[in-house]
């Protein structure tokens, strides 16, 4: 069931199914701004969007919210379950709460902003997405991250950047431990410029780029070398 309220098209998930919701948002005719009411932790909300529409989810979302997003700008006004913005290609997803594990997994592009904390494996196998977390992230974040940027304003758990490729990691707080082949890097002028831009885009103004440290791949695992066998 879709209604109109204050220039938003409203879909109430107490009256409509997830299938009906996603069909409406994925429609070739979808335009403008949408408000999803009473999400109540349901899974797969607003997935597979391909139009440049604005979507607000007014409450908590379950697994895989905003997955496979292209072009749309999604705001979730609450916490989310595992796999938010999984395989996102473009557009933006903003979480005004905490995110469970695997936020932004395998995402190729766009911007994911998490206002609270993120769980384990944030940014796992990321392939070009930019992820900005105002809080902290759990263990094995950016595991096998291939490209893109992860910015953490809080702390990072164990094994940050394990088996990292060419993604850039910026952490302001304490890193509990680094994963295999991840090391601290010098912060260059180019890095600072990139980080300032992402913080501004994410709406985070209370921290300076200079207060972060950068981490990246030591490039020892690209090709097998017997001298590095213990790292595999």
List, in order, residues 6 or more apart from 186 with CB less than 8 Å away: 214
Q: What is the mean pLDDT of residues 104-119?
A: 98
Give the confidence band of 220 by pLDDT, cuts at 50, 70, 90.
confident
For residue 208, the Cα-to-chain-centroid distance in whole angstroms is 21
CA torsion sign for 222, 180, 215, 141 is positive
Distances (CA, A) of 17 to 2, 82, 124, 137: 11, 20, 30, 32
| The two structure tokens encoding residue 207 | 């921290």
Which 3 state secondary structure label does DSSP give 12? strand
For residue 138, the Cα-to-chain-centroid distance in whole angstroms is 13
Distance between CA atoms of residues 126 and 132, nearest Å: 13
Distance between CA atoms of residues 174 and 37, nearest Å: 38
**Mean pLDDT taken over the chain:** 94
Q: What is the mean pLDDT of residues 59-66?
A: 98
| pTM assigned to the model | 0.93
Give the pLDDT confidence of 18-33 residue by residue, as tens digits. Answer: 999 999 999 989 999 9
Query: For 109-121, b where at least 16 C-beta lie within 10 A, e where not — what string?
Result: bbbbbbbbbbbbb
């Amino acid at each position: 069931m879709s209604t109109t309220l204050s220039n938003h098209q409203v879909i109430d998930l107490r009256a409509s199914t997830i299938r009906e919701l996603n069909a409406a948002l994925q429609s070739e005719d979808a335009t403008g701004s949408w408000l999803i009411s009473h999400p109540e932790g349901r899974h797969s909300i607003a997935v597979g969007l391909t139009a440049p529409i604005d979507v607000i989810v007014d409450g908590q979302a379950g697994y895989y919210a905003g997955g496979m997003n292209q072009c749309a700008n999604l705001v979730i006004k609450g916490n989310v379950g595992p796999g938010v913005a999984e395989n996102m290609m473009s557009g933006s997803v903003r979480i005004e709460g905490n995110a469970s594990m695997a936020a932004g997994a395998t995402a190729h592009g766009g911007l994911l902003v998490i206002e609270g904390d993120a769980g384990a494996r944030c940014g796992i196998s990321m392939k070009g997405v930019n992820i900005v977390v105002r809080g902290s992230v759990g263990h094995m974040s950016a595991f096998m991250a291939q490209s893109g940027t992860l910015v953490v304003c809080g702390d990072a758990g164990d094994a940050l950047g394990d088996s990292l490729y060419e993604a850039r990691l910026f952490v302001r707080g304490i890193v509990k431990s680094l994963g295999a082949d991840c090391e601290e890097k010098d912060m260059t002028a180019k890095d600072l410029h990139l980080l300032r831009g992402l913080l501004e885009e994410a709406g985070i103004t209370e921290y300076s780029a200079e207060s972060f440290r950068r981490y990246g791949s030591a490039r020892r695992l690209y090709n097998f070398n017997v001298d590095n066998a213990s790292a595999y």
